[in-house]
Amino acid sequence: METLAVPILRSSSSSGVGSGLGIHRPLSRTQSSPASTSLALPEKPLTCSCVYAGLVYDSQMLKHQCTCGDNSSHPEHAGRIQSIWSRLQERGLRGQCEVCIRGRKATLEELQSVHTERHVLLYGTNPLNRLKLDNRKLAGILSQRTFLMLSCGGVGVDNDTIWNESHTSTASRMAAGSVIELAFRVAKRELKNGFAVVRPPGHHADPSNPMGFCYFNSVAIAAKQLQQKLSVSKILIVDWDVHHGNGTQEIFYSDPSVLYISLHRYDDGNFFPGSGSPAEVGSEAGEGFNVNVAWTGGLDPPMGDAEYLAAFRSVVMPIAQEFSPDVVLVSAGFDAADGNPAPLGGYKVSAKCFSFLTRQLMSLAGGRLVLALEGGHDLTAICDASEACVSALLGIHDPLSEEVLLQKPNANAVHSLQTVHCYNTIQTRI
């Protein structure tokens, strides 16, 4: 197979094939509701003197449920985080972590660091806390709300993003606030690293729209708060959810202080949400700081461990090492894990592979690493993957076999990776 060149971050002043590609492809609801190189990956020693990994979870996030009362109609449901939390307890991993991190609701001001005031007031308030706000402003904004009657009998902002008037805003704010709290503890060296067991997910939420089960972009809000309150200079966001994080990309598209790298099923724009082309490399000062590993080729064959390992070896880690982040945040969706149905993923990434990818990211930023749950809907698959990642954060080593490490990626993956390099390698000037 062909050797892939290591891509280089593009400065906003450089010329090349990626120039002038600042316009996103239109988002669309399509099929889903929401070459390995020889590059050595140096093991950078952790410099954190603390010994604990952190976990954050809050039962208030369980209350975000469709009013129809039938979870079987909704792939994003409370059982996802409940199952993960129980699994971590059963395996003794909760006891090995510093679990005394209390989840909290993000403030309206924190939410507005990413989202518009209108969006925050529409989806971040409920009948009780609206009593404390400006009634005249609220009345005008709330009159603009539109909801759909779902086939299950419940209510949603679209066909798959349910709304519960009493509980959705609190759960969404709790998810965002919990990720902020964990990220701050890790950035300040009070914790070694951490995993946020949160819902609803966030990476599809853009500044003014909920979609794909998401209301507030928790990882993006945490990144903004790290910038604004702790003066963190450089933040890497890795998004390995099988769906492109269109919201996160939009939020940081022109920001060179945040490097966003997404690995997602793309299929030439025919997989939800339809964004995330490798040609979308950032704009203005942020050109070159948005990297899309956009897998194309459908499920013939599905991407798995060999393909994700090749992406990390040839794209993710070389670019991340050059960027040299101060903190790493991961939108840790597990819908690429083996076991998720084809309409919601269909890939075959193993839990051990997610553990390996986590250990690779631990070599960056002096070990300051925070994983926040995004998607993933098969309960066994997301529990296995979450357990594997938390184990990795704790330093428990469960190696991949030599056979897997040496396996070559499939032809569709090689083509996808070569396309990424085409758009993210600085061209030689004459």
Sorted by sequence, the CB contacts under 8 Å of residue 44 that are 6+ apart come out as: 363, 364, 366, 367
Of these ranges, 94-98, 160-164, 386-390, 421-425, the one predicted with the greatest mean pLDDT is 386-390
Q: pLDDT tier at 99 (50, 70, 90 boundaries)?
A: low
Per the model's pLDDT, the better-predicted residue between 338 and 2 turns out to be: 338
Per the model's pLDDT, the better-predicted residue between 111 and 101 turns out to be: 111
The CB-side HSE value for 392 (13 A sphere, CA atoms) comes to 27
Pick the closest to residue 330 from 287, 393, 377, 280 (CA basis): 393
Helix or strand run (H / E) with residue 309: helix 305-311
Amino acid at 340: N
SS3 content of the chain, % helix, strand, coil (to 5): 40, 15, 50
**Catalytic annotation, residues:** 204
**Can you give the residue ranges of every domain in the chain?**
53-424
Per the model's pLDDT, the better-predicted residue between 340 and 35 turns out to be: 340
C-alpha span between 291 and 280 (Å, rounded): 7
Mean pLDDT of 291-319: 98
Q: What is the pLDDT of residues 261-273, one digit of tens each?
A: 999 999 999 999 9
Q: What number of other Cβ atoms are within 10 A of residue 91's Cβ?
A: 14
Q: Is the dihedral of CA 185, 246, 114, 165 positive or negative?
A: negative
Residue 403: pLDDT over 50: yes
Residue 161: pLDDT over 50: yes
Quote the tokens at residue 77: 């449901």
Residue 137: pLDDT over 80: no
What beta strand segments (E) does 354-423 contain? 369-373
Pick the closest to residue 202 from 176, 164, 169 (CA basis): 176
pLDDT value at residue 130: 80
Pick the closest to residue 58 from 112, 96, 23, 100 (CA basis): 100
Q: pLDDT tier at 72 (50, 70, 90 boundaries)?
A: confident
pLDDT value at residue 399: 94
Q: pLDDT tier at 134 (50, 70, 90 boundaries)?
A: confident
Lowest mean pLDDT, pick from 11-25, 134-148, 350-364 = 11-25
pTM: 0.89
pLDDT value at residue 429: 23
Q: What is the pLDDT of residues 17-53, one digit of tens each?
A: 333 333 333 333 333 333 434 344 444 444 455 668 9
Residue 370: pLDDT over 90: yes
SS (H, E, C) 226-292: HHHHHCCCCEEEEECCCCCCHHHHHHHCCCCCEEEEEEEECHHHCCCCCCCCCCCCCCHHHCCCEEE
Helix or strand run (H / E) with residue 293: strand 290-295
**Residue in this structure with the two tokens 């003066």, named with its chain if needed:** 231
Lowest mean pLDDT, pick from 10-19, 190-199, 308-317 = 10-19
Contact 408, 306 (CB under 8 A): yes
Pick the closest to residue 82 from 389, 340, 386 (CA basis): 386
Q: What are residue 285's phi and psi, to 5 degrees?
A: -65, -20
Quote the tokens at residue 111: 């939410």
Helix (H, G, I), strand (E, B) or coil at 346: coil
Lowest mean pLDDT, pick from 65-79, 94-108, 241-255, 372-386 = 94-108
Residue 194: pLDDT over 90: yes
pLDDT value at residue 100: 66
% of the chain with per-residue pLDDT over 90: 77
pLDDT value at residue 51: 66
Q: What is the pLDDT of residues 220-259, one digit of tens each?
A: 999 999 999 999 999 999 999 999 999 999 999 999 999 9
Lowest mean pLDDT, pick from 123-127, 176-180, 393-397 = 123-127
Sorted by sequence, the CB contacts under 8 Å of residue 396 that are 6+ apart come out as: none
DSSP 81-133: HHHHHHHHHHTTHHHHSEEEEE--PPPHHHHTTTS-HHHHHHHS--TTGGGGS
Residue 195: pLDDT over 60: yes
C-alpha span between 183 and 267 (Å, rounded): 33
- Domain covering 53-424: architecture: 3-Layer(aba) Sandwich (3.40)
Q: How far is CA 418 from CA 188, 212, 305, 422, in A?
A: 38, 29, 18, 6
Q: Mean pLDDT over all residues of the chain?
A: 88
- How deeply is 292 buried, as exposed, middle or buried, from its count of CB atoms within 10 A (0-12, 13-18, 19+)? buried
